[in-house]
């Protein structure tokens, strides 16, 4: 299971970017705070950020997969791409619009392994 994105380590990195600290386990009581420019976040701040990251993880994964699909079809939107006709070109443009709109209309979830549950997202069909 991919737990890094809702771990204490990730929460510390997000709450105090660039801060220097060490920790042998993902345990607040074991944090060795070495940063002299930033204050160590409280346990409550860390727990709140970990929960935020946990809730945001499905959408983060959806966006990664969506962006990969957008990258894969970028070439089809170039003016000199050899489409068979204007309808085919328009179909690819509509597909890309649907991909870009996906985060706004989806409620993704994670599966038992902590990965994006593909059945929780209605992916647009590639032309």
List, as one string, the DSSP characters of 47-88.
Answer: HHHHHHHHHHHHHHHHHHHHHHHHHHHGGGGSTTS--SSHHH
Q: Is the pLDDT of residue 6 over 90?
A: no
pLDDT at 2 over 90: no
Q: For residue range 43-71, what is the model confidence (pLDDT) as tens digits?
A: 999 999 999 999 999 999 999 999 999 99
**Residue 126 CB neighbours (<10 A):** 12
Which of 5 and 35 is assigned the larger pLDDT? 35
Q: How far is CA 81 from CA 58, 59, 89, 95, 120, in A?
A: 34, 32, 9, 16, 33
Mean per-residue pLDDT over the chain, rounded: 94
Write down the pLDDT at residue 28: 95
Model pLDDT, residue 24: 86
């Amino acid at each position: 299971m991919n737990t890094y994105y809702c771990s204490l380590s990730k929460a510390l990195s997000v709450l105090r970017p660039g801060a220097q600290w060490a920790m042998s386990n993902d345990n607040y009581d074991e944090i060795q705070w070495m940063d002299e420019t930033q204050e160590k976040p409280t346990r409550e701040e860390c727990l709140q950020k970990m929960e935020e990251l946990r809730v945001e993880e499905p959408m983060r994964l959806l966006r990664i997969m969506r962006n990969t699909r957008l990258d894969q079809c970028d070439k089809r939107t170039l003016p000199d791409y050899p489409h068979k006709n204007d309808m085919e070109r328009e179909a690819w443009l509509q597909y890309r619009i649907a991909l870009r709109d996906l985060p706004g209309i989806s409620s993704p979830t994670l599966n038992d392994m902590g990965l994006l549950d593909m059945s929780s997202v209605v992916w647009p069909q590639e032309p």
